[in-house]
Structure 1
Amino acid sequence: MTAELILTSASNPRVKAWAALLETKHRNRQGQFLAEGTHMLVEALICGAAVRTVVYDAERGLPSELEEPLRLHGATVELVAAARSVISKCTGTDSPPPVFGIVDKPVADHAALFRERGLVVVLDGVRDPGNAGTIIRSADAAGADAVVLGKGCVDLYNPKTVRSTMGSLFHLPVLEGDLTEMLPEARSKGMTIAGTSLQAARSCYECDFTGPLWLLLGNEADGLSQASLEQLDYGVIIPMKGRTESLNVAMAGTVVLYEALRQRELNK
């Protein structure tokens, strides 16, 4: 860890640069994003993410949970103590967290998309950051190999998305790309393409999810785009016994992912 700085002014140029990362254009320009909270930074450090700076509340002190991860994995991390006004300016929550970090965007691992018996979760037009983050978390829990966010999805590095992943963002490859190019490539490499749809005839409990699979999840209001529907090998529906018409996309994705996990565990 490098020497500590102490920042007290929210108008400091460095503080302004960090606060700018709340906006997509500045994240793209700087190639960095914000990771807020102790748990998120612990996961980032343990998983080898490129954490450049850790900024903590000078009044509260550095969270003790970060001391060991920083000792083991943070040799090049800059530590900055800051006033609470600085923390508030740079984070997107009503109650500022005790700490946040500046992290380099990772280099995408495309090899993870085409593994033998691989399971890849693909988001098509999912706009809500909470839904996107929860799906990434569920994909992690269910043992998926990667997650893809297609064009039209919420920005992966939106602070709300990052927070909603609860650290899963650092556990598996998560990529952004153009599905009109990626879906044909996946098919050419032997991946089966399935997607949730209210118009599908096959229940998720009737499908075989044990082979190499890309599972598509669509927009909260409109479902899968027409272009994606045309690429499907088959559609998947979740049976409903109650009176509700549909599930939230994150809930639906979790149900199907756990059915895929169940099948894959039985067929080891």
Structure 2
Amino acid sequence: MPELTNPRAERVRSVRALAGRPVRDRRGLFLVEGPQPVREAVRHMPERVRDLYLTVGAAERYPEILAAARGADVPVWLSASEVLDTMSRDAQGVLAVVRTWSSTIDELVHPRLVAVLAAVRDPGNAGTVIRTADAAGASAVILAGASVDLFNPKVVRSTAGSLFHLPVMRSGDLPEVLVSVRGLGLQVLAADGGGALDLDDLLDAAASDAPAGTDLRAPTAWLFGNEAWGLPAEDVARADGVVRIPLRGAAESLNLATAAALCLYASARAQR
């Protein structure tokens, strides 16, 4: 039987309040909603999971989540469906409260591939880039400038658990980020539709084993700009190379997440 049955209880209100950034920042906690992100949080960062909430039905459907949580001594609360729905409309019967963290670029060791998001505001895009970077084998993702909050619930959901697989960090100053990644031996390539370098040409050159100039095989930090206006001229000028993705059809442009996927996988292929 569920232990939590009152959707108006103080604990329920306290969890629901974590949907707001001021509360997250003040309490150092955030929500992880849905079976896949929660599964990865419990598997990869159980020490940061403060509480796990499941409906009785979800506990039966996802016994591996329940077993992993109990094996890591994570407090588990079986809850009525009404309670989970009040805590979060996106929980799908599974919800975790997790402690936030703060990472720095200096913690990276011999990074080969990094994604830097400059003033990326859309949480779905940011989360999808984190998921894509994880799939491409990237070393880290850095949210720079006025980018969306890393622990925004939609960002967390959109990562599909990848948030718990690789270092993801926030930095308020893009120029400092670029100085830091260069200090780690990475070249900086900006993705921009007006770039002088063609991504296909760079891939061909890397495959020839004799690239001249910009080399996709080198350790690289890819710089991606805002969804609406891209990278401002001063940020483009900070890059070592500016790369365009060739558009073969009539589409005017690609969205941020798609462009990031193509660039990150191009580097991952060349480096392999």
The answer to whether the superposition gives a TM-score over 0.5 is: yes
Q: CA 1:9/1:257 → structure 2, altered by over 3 Å: closer, same or farther? A: same
- Distance in 1 between residues matched to 2:124 and 2:107, nearest whole Å: 24
- Distance in 2 between residues matched to 1:243 and 1:203, nearest whole Å: 18
Identity %: 37
Q: CA 1:100/1:180 → structure 2, altered by over 3 Å: closer, same or farther? A: same
Are residue 162 (structure 1) and residue 159 (structure 2) matched?
no
Q: CA 1:220/1:147 → structure 2, altered by over 3 Å: closer, same or farther? A: same
- Distance in 2 between residues matched to 1:244 and 1:234, nearest whole Å: 24
Find the counterpart in structure 2 of residue 143 from structure 1.
Answer: 137
Q: C-alpha displacement at 1:28, in angstroms?
A: 0.8
Find the counterpart in structure 2 of residue 182 from structure 1.
Answer: 177
TM-score with structure 2 setting the length:
0.88
Segments of 5+ residues of structure 2 without an aligned counterpart are 203-214
Q: C-alpha displacement at 1:250, in angstroms?
A: 0.2
Find the counterpart in structure 2 of residue 53 from structure 1.
Answer: 51
- Distance in 2 between residues matched to 1:174 and 1:111, nearest whole Å: 13
How many equivalent pairs are there?
257
Find the counterpart in structure 1 of residue 98 from structure 2.
Answer: 103
Q: C-alpha displacement at 1:10, in angstroms?
A: 2.3
AA matched with 2:170: E
TM-score with structure 1 setting the length:
0.89
Deviation sequence 1:105-148 (CA, Å, 0-9, x none): 134153454x4352110111111111111110110011100000
Are residue 89 (structure 1) and residue 81 (structure 2) matched?
no
AA matched with 2:19: L
Find the counterpart in structure 1 of residue 252 from structure 2.
Answer: 245
- Distance in 1 between residues matched to 2:244 and 2:58, nearest whole Å: 49
- Distance in 2 between residues matched to 1:46 and 1:109, nearest whole Å: 23
Q: C-alpha displacement at 1:5, in angstroms?
A: 7.6
Q: CA 1:197/1:160 → structure 2, altered by over 3 Å: closer, same or farther? A: same
Give the conservation status (yes or no) of the 8 Å contact 1:194–1:236.
Answer: yes
Q: C-alpha displacement at 1:177, in angstroms?
A: 0.5
- Distance in 1 between residues matched to 2:58 and 2:40, nearest whole Å: 21
- Distance in 1 between residues matched to 2:241 and 2:169, nearest whole Å: 24
- Distance in 1 between residues matched to 2:2 and 2:89, nearest whole Å: 23
Give the alignment partner of residue 257 of structure 1, picking from 250, 261, 264. Answer: 264
User: Residue 6 of structure 1: SS of its match in structure 2?
Assistant: coil
Find the counterpart in structure 2 of residue 67 from structure 1.
Answer: 66
Q: CA RMSD in A?
A: 2.0
Q: C-alpha displacement at 1:169, in angstroms?
A: 0.4
Deviation sequence 1:163-214 (CA, Å, 0-9, x none): 1111100000000102132112323443211111011010113332222211
AA matched with 1:141: A
AA matched with 1:199: G
AA matched with 2:193: L
- Distance in 2 between residues matched to 1:58 and 1:9, nearest whole Å: 15
AA matched with 1:52: R
Q: CA 1:227/1:83 → structure 2, altered by over 3 Å: closer, same or farther? A: farther
Give the conservation status (yes or no) of the 8 Å contact 1:112–1:173.
Answer: no
User: Residue 81 of structure 1: SS of its match in structure 2?
Assistant: strand
